[in-house]
Amino acid sequence: MTAYQHPTELNLALDALRKDLLREDGPQISTVRNYNFAILPYDPEDEFALRVAISRPRIYR
C-alpha cells in the first residue's frame, strides 16, 4: 500500500489481528487459550490478497 492508498477492510482486519496477537499481556481474541488459530472473516474476492498478506514476513518492534 502506498501513501496515497487507503487501507482496505482486509488490511484493517489484519492490522487489528496483528496488534492483538502481539499485545504485551497476550492476545485477547479468545478466552480459550489452547486453540492455536484465529478466525478472520473476509470477502471471497479478497482470498488471494489475504494469502499474500499472511505469507509475507514482517519485522515487529
Cα–Cα distance measured from residue 40 to residue 25, given in angstroms and rounded to the nearest whole number: 21
pLDDT in tens, 2-48: 567 788 888 888 888 888 888 888 777 765 667 777 788 888 999 99
Cα–Cα distance measured from residue 51 to residue 46, given in angstroms and rounded to the nearest whole number: 9
pTM above 0.85, yes or no: no
Residue 26 backbone class (left: φ over 0; alpha: ψ -120 to 50; beta: rest): left
Domain boundaries, the chain: 9-55
The residue count of the chain comes to 61
